[in-house]
Amino acid sequence: MPVAKVTKDDVAAAYRFLLGRDPSEREISAWLHVASVAELRRLFVASPEFKAKLVALGSLRSEHPQRLSLDVPPILVDWQTDKETEARLLDYVTKTWVAIGKEQPHWSVLSADAFKSENMARNRAAFYASGAGDARRVVAILARHHLTPADRPRMVEYGCGVGRVTPHLAAAFREVIGIDISQSHLALARDVVAESGRQNVRLVLSAAPEFGMTEPFDLWFSYIVLQHNPPPIIAMILRRMFAMLAPGGIAVFQVPTYVPGYRFDVAQYLAAPKQGTIEVHCLPQPVVFRLAAEAGCTALEVREDSAMGYPWLSNTFVFGKSP
């Protein structure tokens, strides 16, 4: 008997009954790749948030956050395909994000109800203030490698969205090039940059094959962006980035690399597209390392991060290019 796929209703029910709250669209998307409802239940009750609920009720002692076992099986991911299929995938992704950028621009960046269009008037300040933490992390990563923003003055923020982080980066770096796939996002980002008074920002539309990267840069940064592209597109973006990274340059980016039960079959994906939804995808670690090696880039750090939450494995990568 075939196993029924996990639905949005299954995920919503788990959140409501076990956590007492409704999930965000991003949280729903993060669980839809689980193989079955039984597996969803098993992983959900082992999740840090559910365990925190039990701790609060006195039913469970606090412990370290759950992590995936080291003996998990590989996931099957089509990340290489032909030019015609690449073009179809790019067209699909572009149309999706152009539509979302018009309908719910801020929510598409941070998928919380507070940042839906009808709520943004009272939450705008908090939304844009949150970008300061991202900028601080980039500067801290450089410092761990004995570098400062002055050492890598031209930076690219890939997936700048509505400018949540951009002005904060512009306060630290000499030149910031913000790139995004949505003209609606970029229009809002221009307003935010203008309000900040920063004169050192250039905003560029992402389009294949360059993805907005037309000249070398010293630092490339991307966070909670790449995951919203099918794996072949993530690979295309990273290959272009590694090629355009200047000698001695640094790349700092986050991407999910594993979740139990995930599979990407490009033919099946294109046969049943989910137009208009925010998707979450993986690119396995070996692929990331292979793309970096092709361009003469070396891993400086690979950190598990909290961008996705259990049972996803999300990594922040730091690569350096040989001088």
The pLDDT of residue 24 = 78
Give the chain's domains with CATH numbers.
Answer: 8-56 (no CATH), 84-321 (3.40.50.150)
The pLDDT of residue 75 = 95
- Strands of 297-304's sheet, edge to edge? 201-205, 175-180, 154-158, 217-222, 245-258, 313-321, 297-304
The sign of the dihedral angle between the CA atoms of 174, 190, 161, 137 is positive
Looking only at Cα atoms, what is the longest distance across the chain? 62
Helices (H), 223-275: 231-244, 266-271
The pLDDT of residue 58 = 52
The pLDDT of residue 217 = 98
Residue 15 vs residues 12, 109, 112, 206, 247: alpha-carbon distances, Å: 5, 22, 15, 36, 47
The pLDDT of residue 62 = 46
User: Strand ranges (DSSP E) for the chain?
Assistant: 76-77, 154-158, 175-180, 201-205, 217-222, 245-258, 263-264, 297-304, 313-321
The pLDDT of residue 193 = 97
The pLDDT of residue 23 = 79
The pLDDT of residue 10 = 84
Tokens for 273?
Answer: 């597209």
The pLDDT of residue 205 = 97
User: How many angstroms separate the CA atoms of 83 and 89, rounded?
Assistant: 10
User: How many angstroms separate the CA atoms of 234 and 174, rounded?
Assistant: 28
The pLDDT of residue 64 = 54
The pLDDT of residue 253 = 98
The pLDDT of residue 162 = 97
Report, as ranges of residue numbers, the positions in the chain whose pLDDT lies below 50: 1, 55, 59-62
